[in-house]
Structure 1
Amino acid sequence: MLIQREMDQDAMLWETPTIALTAQAFLLTIALNRDSTAPAVYISAALGVIVAVLSMQLMAKHRFLNEMDRAQLHRLEEELDIPHISRRSYFFPSGKYAIPHNLSTAGRSAPKKQGLLQSIRSYNFWVLGLGIFAAVNVAILAIELWWPTILHPPTL
Structure 2
Amino acid sequence: MKYLQDHPPEVLARVQAMLDEGRLMPWLLQRHPETHTVRSDRALQAYVAELKARHMKNAPPLAQVRYDNHLHVVHQALGTHTAVSRVQGGRLQAKREIRIASVFQDAPANFLRMIVVHELAHLREREHDKAFYALCQHMEAEYHQLEFETRLWLTAQEAAARKR
TM-score, with structure 1 as normaliser: 0.27
Larger Rg: 1
TM-score, with structure 2 as normaliser: 0.26
The structure where strand makes up a greater share of residues is 2
